[in-house]
Every structure is written in structure tokens, then in C-alpha cells.
Structure 1
Amino acid sequence: MIIVNNPGGSVSFSPLEHAVWHGFTPTDLVFPSFLFAVGNAMSFSMKRYAELGNAAVLSKIFKRTVLIFLIGYLMYWFPFFVNKGGHFSLSPIADTRIMGVLQRIALCYCFASLMIHFLSKQTVFILSGLFLTGYWLILLVYGDPADPLSITGNVGLFLDKFVLGESHMYHGEHIAFDPEGILSTLPAIVNVVVGYYAGKYIQQKGKGYEAISKLLLTGCLFIFLALCWNMVFPINKKLWTSSFVLITTGLDLVILSFLVYSLEINHWNKWNWTRFFTIFGKNPLPIYVLSEILGFFLGFIIIRPGLDIAAWSNTAVYQVIAPGAVGSLLFALTYMFICWLAAWVLDKRKIYIRV
């Protein structure tokens, strides 16, 4: 995601861009996989909840939810001031985006944790199905009759404008539209739920052929259902459609099956190549925040009017070495390696920041 969010220029390879609206790219799999991984991690951490009283469980869940949500909110408000003609003033909180990536992770974690802890497995499955089908019906019934699945006609947009207000929404689509809005958080909870039960299943059944074959078949079934549903309810990351939930959880299950097969059964980690990735995984939240904030600081280092150091280095170095999308990718890879070095230092010093 760091590579996707920090290209050197405006030209990137198409797999490293989100689908414009309906459709799917490899990049669209990253964020839902965050949620799947959150659920997977919950399958280990929530074992301790069974030994605690309800008050303690609620305290842990709500504390973690508030902290993650607040970090995401403050990240969008950062750097907390604006420069107007050489005069610095506090950035107006009235223009700060409320929802976002970390905020969605916080809310999905919260609702999934409450469901899993307080409800039976069967009830959680039924609720997950209702979230997916109910979201579809809500969009169709309450959206713009002319086109209820358009960027301007979906009911999620109307709800966000009513509850949040346009100034607190994302404007990256050149209009006030939040891809991490209130209503679309509902189906995203299912990504966490599937990740949780996938983790529980592997722990219960073991890392053998039977377990991974059933995970693989379930993933393929989800992908098949997603493609069928796509005919009437298109796969769309920005709306987080129910078909999008199915195809992303299906792919995550397939990928998880492959990882268990290759690393746990066949031991294809002879040269410890996975360490590069696990270094990121040991401190995902601080490194994600670093990747976002570092861009702000680079923007303050001005080489000449209208050109900051990031844009200058891309133009003067990377675009000279490899013009176009290749140079842009090289810049993004360099940026990612800088963030990785920060994660490596934390891992070297045994510093692991948890929320």
C-alpha cells in the first residue's frame, strides 16, 4: 500500500491503481486484506477474553477502537497548521476528514469483536449474511432510482453528507465522497469475521492438507459467488459492495492456503525470505502512519517554488533513469524501503508498538 500511495509521478502501472469505479485491480485487495488480517489476529488474542468479565472485555474492545480511530483522525488533521502567505495558523478542525482507513479498521474491529464474543458462531454467520444482502437492498431501494450504484446516486453518499457534512468527507474524487463512509462499513465487518474464523479453523484443524484444502475450496466458492453476484451487484471497492467482500475474502483464503502449504508443510522458507515481510508485520500501525506523515514532511522541503524534494528527486533522478511508469515505480519502491528501514530498526531493538 505504501508503494501504491507514494508513486513518483502521475503515471503508474495499472495494477498499482485502484479501479476507477466498478471493477477490480490487485491494489483493491490490499485494504480488505488488512481487515482479514485483523480478524486473523483476533483469533489468537480473543482467547484471553473468555477468562475476563464482560466489563473488562468491553473496556479492552472500546479502548482499542477509540485509539485506532483517533490515530486515523489525527493523521488526517496533521500537520495541524496551515501556511497562508507566510503566516501560520491552526488548521481548522471543521475541514478535517472524520472517516478513513484506520477509522474503518477500528469500527470493523469493534463490531466484529462484539459479535464474536457475545454471540454464537451461527448467529455471527447469519448476521454476516444479513449485512451483505441488507447492504445490497439498502443501496437499491434508497439510492437514486436512475442509478443507485453511481458515485453521486448511492445512498451512502447521502448518509455521509447528512451525518458528517461535506467538509468532513474525502474529496479525492473531485467531489465530496468518502470510500470509507458510514454505510459501507457494514459489509466491511464481514472481512474481519471471515479472517477470524479462518484463523480459528487452522488452529483447530492444524496446518495439514485437510485444513488448507477446505480453506482453498471455501475461497474458490466465495470467488465464484462474487463473480455471479457481480452480474447484478458489481464488484466495487469504493462502494465496498457485497460482491467485493466475497471476492476479497475468497482471494485471502486462497492466498492463506498457499502460504500455509508453502511455509508450514513444504518449508519453502529455507533462506528466511519471509523476514522482509514479517518486519513490516510486527509494527504495521506505526509504519503505516510513518508512511503517511513522511510525505507531509517531504512536502515542506522546497527545492524551488512549486517543487518539493520528493517531486524534484523523481524528476531529476528516477525519471532520468527510467522515464514514465518505471521511474515512478522505482521512486515508490525507494520510499517503501525507507519505511522498511524504520521497521527494521524497531525490530532490531525489539520495539513493537501495539494498540
Structure 2
Amino acid sequence: MSAAPVRFASVDALRGLTVAAMLLVNTPGDWSHVYAPLLHAEWHGVTPTDLVFPFFLFIVGVSVSLGIVPRAEAGVARDVLVRALLWRAAKIVALGLALHLLAYLMLDRAHVRPWGVLQRIGVCFAIVGLVALYAKPRTQWALIGVILLGYWATGLLGYWATGRCSRRSATPPTRICPRGWIRPCSPRGFTSGMPRLRAARTRRGC
């Protein structure tokens, strides 16, 4: 976001390793014989595959800390930083949309996926960058709490609204679903971006 940006070898190395891991888990073979660590956890638990997206968000937070905050502290006009921030975020979102559109047109996909990985990374980058520029640290941590509580409440209301349980996703028994099953929801939809914001902001503070 500057004429001569400073490159950090450690950040570039982590970015490269994360991209390599993404390629590995997205092309693990013929999908009929895949090592369990190269698949996402069905619901509970975690596999190495589940860590790829959080590492991307870690890099987003580090990029904000190393590329935006120091320039703001150096006296660069805030409106200049905001324009550059939003422009970069828009390019990330546009790239993600373009890739999904090409997949839909050329690979005979059933639908276009508007909330893909790149799109959510771009949105998180824009929001976290704006928060870093305009909010004080205490306010930022308060926002994290609000986001997590809001995400929890959204999921809870969704379970109540369905009025029934589904056996497609196993969970421990709860008062809502005493059999231990809940109605499945997409982990990649719009609301899934809420905890991603928390992840990016937490990494930004590291």
C-alpha cells in the first residue's frame, strides 16, 4: 500500500506455506481415497485442513499491523489509507467472484458461490483495517466480544427457528436437540464471516 513497501520474509514464507497447504487439501487425490487429515472435520473436532483459512486470516491481521498501522502512526492522512485499504479489499473480493463465475461457466458448477474464501478474506481485511484505523484497542476487544456473542445468538436462534433436529450433523445432546442432533447450516455463508473477523483482529494484535 505504498510506493516501496517493506517485505518481511517471515510473512512471505507463511503465506507461501499456507497457499501450498491450500493446494494440497483442495487436490488430495481422487476424493475416493483421501487421508483423514486432508478433509475438514464433519462438525466437532479439527483437522490440519481446518487450519488453512485461519492462517490466511492470521496473515491478514499481520498485514494490517505491518502495513497500515505504522503508516497511520507516521502521520499519513487517514483518508489516503482508507482509500487504499478499500481498493485492495475490493480487488480481493472481485478476484474471488471472478474465479467462482469462471468455475460456474467453464466447469459446469451447479451455482455461483458469492461468499467464497477470497470474498470473505477481502471483507475481513476491509473491516479489520477500518477498525484498526478508527477504534482504540479497548473498543476493538469489545467488538470481538460483541461479534462472538452475536454469532452465538444467530446460531442459537437458527436452531430454535427450525423447530426440528436433523441427523445430518452430529452434536452433543442439548435442550434444543436432546437426541444430540441439530439442523445443519453452511459453515461458509455470510454469518460465518463473523468469527473470521475475530480471528483476523486477534492476529492483528499479536
Secondary structure of the residue aligned to 2:86 is: helix
Structure 1 Cα separation of the partners of residues 121 and 113 of structure 2: 15
From 185, 188, 207, the counterpart of 2:196:
188
- Which one of 115, 127, 150 corresponds to residue 111 of structure 1? 127
Please give the residue correspondences for 1:276-291 in structure 2 after superposition, counting only pairs within 5 Å: none
The yes-or-no answer on 1:2 pairing with 2:23 is yes
CA distance in structure 2 between the partners assigned to 1:125 and 1:59 by the alignment? 25
Q: Look up the match of 2:62.
A: 40
Aligned partner of 1:65: which letter?
A
Residues 1-355 of structure 1: pairs in structure 2 closer than 5 A: 1-9=22-30, 10-46=32-68, 47-50=70-73, 51-78=75-102, 81-82=105-106, 95-143=111-159, 144-147=162-165, 178-198=186-206
Counterpart Cα distance in 2 of 1:30 and 1:183: 19
CA distance in structure 2 between the partners assigned to 1:80 and 1:14 by the alignment: 28
Distance in structure 1 (CA, Å) of the matches to 2:38 and 2:104 = 30
- After superposition, the C-alpha distances for 1:21-40 in whole angstroms (9 at most, x for unaligned) are 22211211111111012101
- What amino acid is the match of 2:33? V
Deviations 1:100-135 (A, max 9, x none): 010111011111111111000000001101111221
SS class of match (2:115): coil
Matched residue SS, 1:12: coil
User: CA, structure 1 residues 15+95, in 2 after alignment: closer, same or farther (shift >3 Å)?
Assistant: closer
Deviation at 1:81, TM superposition (A): 4.2
Change (3 A) 1:71 1:145: same
Write the letter of the residue equivalent to 1:113.
Answer: G
Question: Distance between the aligned counterparts of 1:40 and 1:130, measured in 2?
Answer: 22
**Shift, 1:65, TM fit:** 1.0
Is contact 1:49–1:57 with CA below 8 Å preserved after alignment? yes
CA distance in 1 between counterparts of 2:99 and 2:26 reads: 15
Task: Mark the runs of 5 or more structure 1 residues left unpaired by the alignment.
Answer: 84-90, 152-176, 199-355
Say whether the 8 Å CA contact 2:28–2:38 is kept in structure 1.
no
User: Following the alignment from structure 1 to structure 2, what is the Cα–Cα distance between the partners of residues 15 and 139?
Assistant: 27
Question: Contact 1:104–1:180 at 8 Å: present in 2 too?
Answer: no
**C-alpha distance in structure 1 between counterparts of 2:113 and 2:196, whole Å:** 19
Unmatched tracts of structure 2, length 5 or more: 1-21, 170-184
User: Counterpart of 1:320?
Assistant: none
TM-score in terms of structure 1 length: 0.43
CA–CA separation in structure 2 for the residues paired with 1:39 and 1:82: 34
Query: Are the counterparts in 1 of residues 128 and 197 from structure 2 also a CA contact under 8 Å?
Result: yes
User: What is the identity percentage for the equivalent residue pairs of Structure 1 and Structure 2?
Assistant: 32
Task: Give me the whole-angstrom Cα distance separating, in 2, the residues matched to 1:7 and 1:141.
Answer: 36
Give, in angstroms, the shift of residue 67 of structure 1: 0.2
Q: Deviations over 1:52-96 (max 9, x none)?
A: 22321221121011100010111111257459xxxxxxx89x942
Q: Which amino acid aligns with 1:119?
A: A
Contact 1:99 1:178 in 2 (8 A): no
Q: CA RMSD in A?
A: 2.6
Q: Given that residues 78 and 133 in structure 2 are in contact (C-alpha distance below 8 angstroms), is that contact kept between their aligned partners in structure 1? A: no
The amino acid of 1:42's aligned partner reads V
Which protein shows a greater Rg?
A: 1
Specify the alignment match of 2:12 in structure 1.
none
TM-score between the two structures when normalised by the length of structure 2: 0.71
User: Structure 1 residues 81, 129: CA separation in 2 closer, same or farther (over 3 Å shift)?
Assistant: closer
Deviations 1:5-25 (A, max 9, x none): 112222111111111222211
Q: Following the alignment from structure 2 to structure 1, what is the Cα–Cα distance between the partners of residues 72 and 199?
A: 21
Q: Secondary structure at the match of 2:205?
A: helix
Aligned length: 165
Letter in 2 for 1:49: A
